[in-house]
Structure 1
């Protein structure tokens, strides 16, 4: 349209045409929906990373994702089974298996099929022992491996503690879901059980995201890789190498947890515009300095790729690993500010972790995680379980150890407190070591300018 013709249009007509133009641009920039022809579909970078890790060293693959709910009331297993079937039917990622073509995985989306629901009756045990036994069985089930080539990639188990007491425990392979996915699963299971109108399948499925994200990475990686090559040049392991055992001996892990008040974290944030993430990571870096004697440290963290609205209702694995390299200064306020700057730079240049590792090169060692050995995860405040019609529901707390890293800190807000869980590989840390290190971390956060000063 010429400038003269545009000027002749009424303001309302110009606004209408502009709205249409913007809508076309938004549609063009959206995530395309792929045709489903039955042919294998590309895996995302996230899926490839998890699949390759499992192929190289199955016992070091990322931990499964889990959901635990305690239910009080008369549980209808038939209704629960139907809700589970509807959930799987609506989300392709939960009914996908993985086929290998020329050394790389591809998604093979299968038709909806009933998912086994296992009932474990513990009423034969003394009443006072049932809860602990259910928790032990659930934690063991959380570590069981899935067959990616055959599926299914999730299991639902119900532990019966009494006529009106049940513990629901769902385990999902990380290639099929993440923490955000489990929240969706919990909501849809509860809605389906409660007889709500069936949830319409999302407009996009995970395979659509995978193809779109691969194309996005093809554009971004060449532009952003120089940042990471410079940023991670000359990095050294935080800890000495642990001898690798092909048999997997000593690759187990253990966790210890404790709580600190939110007021402690808020007090440390008062020195500047700092987030709880920056404050807690700064304290963790001080602990790593005490353990290693090093001031040049790399810690990995996770980000979520659900930045687009059409991905909010999609079940799948969207998390990415991001290395944060920090040179520790002499005091805590400067360190926390440096952490904030490091996080901002890393997020502005984020690329898929497997592309980052391949792009920076270097020799890969069996049993050693590339780019970093220590990890930090800041979780959201756990939401209460959704309503289950006729039942009282509450979160069934559990902690699944992740053996992927030598040492990991997970921070979870719990009301007026933060729960800090320190997980370490037993090949490097004993449970007593972890307890002592967590005590040191709490002391650092309580008084970072005291005897813990760098």
Structure 2
């Protein structure tokens, strides 16, 4: 009997789907589609991969639907049974032909009445296989490309398909169907091999060749930044998938291996932009937001990054200049000019042969009358000069050398600084023996990344995650007045700031580390929670939006690239008086860690989606970030096996774009953990007396955390 398409397997149409469908009808010539592709270099069975796709498509009915009108003129969504309509098996002779095939599928218009909103493509190129997904935007509230990739590999490996990771939809009860059939396959790879791989990545990242498989990652100096790098390396190089939260509940190689999933070796993306060819590029998404903020602050010094090093041993300034030149030639962001014309904002790479036209290095002999303060306050003209200044200073009494390294934020982020300092040591050692450094691999250009990201566009599902979390939150921060001082309006642009430190003693530091481990958290999670709890008590807050930074490096191919990838994210921390302190820490840490998967959306776009304008300022007053294992504390190697030691000098903080900024300074110095909390606050918004109350509250919360009953105390009983 013929099926009636208006009644059989009919699904409800959401307002979002109706809007996306209508948009496509209004602009039929546009391909409103997302596209991602992965290359498998290990042996993959295309037939088994196709069967895995069948399981996923069967599991998520929305992937194989058509949109039609009924007799009453209502839009219907009808599920089709033939899963093969969503899957295509393709053959290509080489990468170029594969790229043409994939782009052709992406550029095709969508016939909503006769075509599914998903095209899953399996492309065979000799011994390699490419898996690609083309999704119409009508699926933005159903699943993402990376969801389908994960679920397909789960089905390929014989595991349950699971559900898309869309927590903002799951809370409303719209995610998930019943469990689907899975594909029968061979058992996963040998567990002992996974342990060995993870342990080797631990040893390499931590510089601990004797580390054992049961040793704690954090006991050897591990931190969240290194965890991020290891997760990406395990997935991209070894096909081992590890969740960020698992680093804190199972922080040894052996324990982490029990949580890992072996999904096969997959490269990042099958398509490339030919990095070495990109000379002029648009700003990346986060970089563009930073550029607009830079313009709003009238191209002043607010985004200067004034680093300074105190050299404990004599350094050869001529060799240092040569070594730093090697870095500039290797990393295009350091030899880039930035242009902010109204009609076009872009970055222009300078060829290494043209570097002689720019002055960027000053020896101590050229630095009479200069100081760290004068360098820090230098105002760049980024359209005409390099985004960095390197200057040596020499103390006339002690003859000790100090280095001022001033870099503009448009060119680098904190991850970049770690990359630069590690490579600087290699380059200095090579130049000390009269050779040029030899790099293990070229560093992909940030310009390539910018072109690729702008072409891909912003992930609307990730944007929805943040707006769903933040829309009901109380924005900003209100603290009770202490001295009656007036406060500036939230949207007022002002950067005047004061700062102070909270310096726990060594016993308290050691106890805080232990407390973090006992509560399956990181030191960052514990200190972040302490700050939130202290502000809750001082201000009588029911919830608090806290900003923090995310690396923004979602593609391991760019881990060694210098550039501005960083995004700001904001979390809504809610306080339940009946909740225990341990539960608050666990929930806050989980919120932070899980949100990192969505941290590629610039804050500017989140605020716009929430209906905010630039005049409203930031949606948070409180900003918390960690500086772990500061790369500015270290040593340059020398050919005679000596080391030229250097230590970081704190800059004098007199500007800030945040109401209150908490910087967690975590380091391992001479084999001992150290911890400082640097607090910078806008002096026109908060008084010294208010900040003294906040400081005292944080210290009281620290003391509670390390007490025997600390984790079991209810929030309502905390005294601060």
- Give TM-score, length-normalised by structure 2: 0.53
Distance 1:62 1:289, change over 3 A: farther
Contact 1:63 1:400 in 2 (8 A): no
Q: CA deviation at 1:332?
A: 1.8
Q: 1:78 to 1:270 in 2, by over 3 A?
A: closer
Which of 104, 129, 154 in structure 2 is aligned with 1:21?
A: 129
| 2:277 paired residue among 20, 24, 36 | 36
Aligned residues: 425
Larger RCO, structures 1/2 (Cα 8 Å, 6+ apart): 1
- Match status 1:357 vs 2:607: yes
Q: 1:59 to 1:149 in 2, by over 3 A?
A: closer
**Does the alignment pair 1:80 with 2:320?**
yes
Alpha-carbon contact 1:255-1:422 (below 8 Å) kept:
yes
Native 8 Å contact 1:187 1:386 kept in 2: no
Deviations 1:248-278 (A, max 9, x none): 6x63112211222333323543663222222
Residue in 1 that maps onto 2:470 = 232
Pair 1:197 & 2:436 matched: yes
Q: Deviations over 1:378-435 (max 9, x none)?
A: 2212244242436622213214535010001111223333211111111123456434
**How far off its partner does 1:117 sit?**
1.9
Give unpaired runs (5+ residues) of structure 1. 4-15, 125-132
Quote the Cα distance in structure 2 between the aligned partners of 1:325 and 1:400: 31
> Matches of residues 55-74 of structure 1 in structure 2 within 5 Å?
55-58=295-298, 63-74=303-314
> Which is further off, 65-74 or 143-152?
65-74
| Contact in 2 for aligned 1:70/1:395 (Cα 8 Å) | yes
Could you tell me which residue of structure 2 aligns to residue 322 of structure 1?
A: 569
The aligned residue for residue 151 of structure 1 is 385
Q: Kindly tell me: are residues 33 and 271 of structure 1, through their superposed partners in 2, closer, same or farther at Cα, counting changes over 3 Å?
A: same
Query: Distance between the aligned counterparts of 1:45 and 1:55, measured in 2?
Result: 16
The answer to whether structure 1 residue 335 and structure 2 residue 581 are counterparts is no
Counterpart check, 1:410 vs 2:663: yes
Contact 2:662–2:677 at 8 Å: present in 1 too? yes
Match of 1:97 among 318, 323, 337: 337
What's 1:397 paired with?
Answer: 649
Change in 2 beyond 3 A, CA 1:243/1:169:
same
Q: Considering only aligned residues, what root-mean-square deviation do their CA atoms show, in Å?
A: 3.5
Report the secondary structure of 1:21's partner residue: strand
> Aligned pair in 2 of structure 1 residues 118, 199: CA closer, same or farther (>3 Å)?
same
- Say whether the 8 Å CA contact 2:491–2:615 is kept in structure 1: no
3-state SS of the aligned residue for 2:700?
A: helix
Q: Which runs of 5+ in 2 are unaligned?
A: 1-44, 48-123, 131-263, 479-486, 706-712
Q: Flag the 1:61–1:361 CA change in 2: closer, same or farther, 3 A.
A: farther
CA distance in 1, matches of 2:286, 2:455: 14
1:254 aligned residue (477, 498, 501): 498
The aligned runs of 1:100-119 (5 Å cut-off) are 100-112=340-352, 113-114=355-356, 115-119=359-363
- Three-state SS of the structure 1 residue aligned to 2:588 is helix
1:445 alignment partner in structure 2: 702
Three-state SS of the structure 1 residue aligned to 2:468 is: helix
Select the structure of larger CA radius of gyration: 2
Length-normalised TM-score, structure 1: 0.82
Counterparts of 2:663 and 2:388 in 1: how far apart (Å)? Answer: 24
Residue 103 of structure 1 and its aligned partner are, at CA, apart by 4.3
Contact 2:278/2:447 (<8 A) preserved:
no
User: What is aligned with 1:7?
Assistant: none
Bigger shift: residues 296-305 or 396-405: 396-405
1:127 maps to none
The structural deviation recorded for 1:43 is: 0.9
196-205 vs 416-425, greater mean Cα deviation: 196-205
Alpha-carbon shift at residue 189 of structure 1 (Å): 3.2
Residue of 231, 235, 242 corresponding to 2:488: 242
